[in-house]
Amino acid sequence: MTPVLKATGVSKAFGGLKAVSAVSIESHAGQILSIIGPNGAGKTTFFNCLSGIYPLDSGTVELGGGRIDGLAPHLVSRAGLSRSFQNIRLFPEMTALQNVQVGRFARSPRQILGTILRTRAWRDRERASLERSEELLAFVGLGDRADSWARALPYGLQRRLEVARALATDPKVLLLDEPGAGMNPQEIVDMMALVKSIARLGVAVVVIEHHMKLVMEISDRIVVLDHGEPIAEGSPDEIRRDPRVVEAYLGRSEEPHG
Ligand SMILES: Nc1ncnc2c1ncn2[C@@H]1O[C@H](COP(=O)(O)OP(=O)(O)OP(=O)(O)O)[C@@H](O)[C@H]1O
Ligand SMILES: [Mg+2]
């Protein structure tokens, strides 16, 4: 099967610190690939490389067969890759619905003339866009909170809104950076169920997550980073038994969170 997203030998250093060293992944439609590793392993930096936030020192990133490395973040987004952030990035003074609609702006170039003239086609597109945003809110479990201010939502729901915002561009690939961070155990279980349902829609999902038990349950494949380097790659069973993984976590008497 051809991967939707293929990163090959991606490297990124900050001064002398090799944050990401020759990391390769393949992400497939309808599957969940998890990236795990101790704090500071380079997981978020790798996402920043994939999503165009940092230029790569070396390596390539292909989406649907075309190169996306070197593209600015909004063009990466338009090519079909979307992401959520480890620290929630919502517009607190907008409603839940408005936050999703803003996410949709990245999707297509604005039709300036249509906007000014309010053509029929423009109105149809706006209506379809509104309906899609409402659908996405319902999908993440916020159907009855469309008009709530983002800042007024409980933290766990803000995290879900962050996922809806990332889905607003109808991405082929979705990168989720610790979607369960700061949530209580039940909220994390619910979030992982949501992640699974996103994959079932046919999206290629790449998720960074610290909660080992859940990672083992939801992942098709797992890549383990340590000090920026890929130290293991495989199915959950293979990863569980891999001595290098046990060493990376337990060798420093640092239990995987969760
Ligand atoms: N913009 C930056 N400038 C300099 N160093 C950075 C920058 N971003 C990240 N780093 C460093 O790169 C390394 C990898 O950081 P990164 O945030 O990617 O790790 P992580 O695996 O996401 O960790 P965590 O689990 O804590 O989120 C760390 O040593 C970090 O301090
Ligand atoms: Mg991180």
**pLDDT per residue over 89-127, tens digit each?**
899 999 999 999 988 866 655 666 666 777 788 788 888
What range does the domain containing 39 cover?
1-80+173-258
Rounded Cα distance between 132 and 193, Å, is 21
Same domain, 184 and 166: no
Asked which of 170, 203, 234 is the last residue of a domain, the reply is 170
**Closest C-alpha residue for ligand 1 atom 26:** 39
Residue 47 has pLDDT above 70, yes or no: yes
pLDDT (0 to 100) of residue 27: 98
Q: Are residues 177 and 163 in the same domain?
A: no
Q: Say whether both 62 and 93 belong to one domain.
A: no
Angle value at C-alpha 232, between 238 and 207, nearest 5 degrees: 90
* Atom 16, ligand 1: residue with shortest CA distance: 42
**Domain boundary, last residue among 170, 194, 211:** 170
Mean pLDDT over 204-219 rounds to: 92
Q: Which residue reads 């999902």 in tokens?
A: 205
221 and 146 in a single domain? The answer is: no
Q: Is the CB of 12 under 6 A from ligand 1?
A: no
Pinpoint the alpha helices (H) of the chain: 43-50, 73-79, 96-105, 112-117, 120-139, 155-167, 185-200, 212-218, 236-241, 243-250
**Is the minimum distance from the CB of 42 to ligand 1 under 6 angstroms?**
yes
Atom of ligand 1 nearest to the CA of 42: 18
Question: Which residue's alpha carbon is at the smallest distance from atom 25 of ligand 1?
Answer: 39
Q: How many domains does the chain have?
A: 2
Q: What percent of the chain has pLDDT over 90?
A: 78
Could you report the per-residue pLDDT of 161-211, keeping only the tens digit for each?
Answer: 999 999 999 999 999 999 999 999 999 999 999 999 999 999 999 999 988
Question: Both 61 and 115 in a single domain?
Answer: no
For the chain, state the CA radius of gyration.
19
pLDDT of residue 258: 41
Ion ligand 2 nearby residues (CB, 5 A):
43-44, 86
Residues 166 and 53 in one domain: no
Query: What's the chain's average pLDDT?
Result: 91
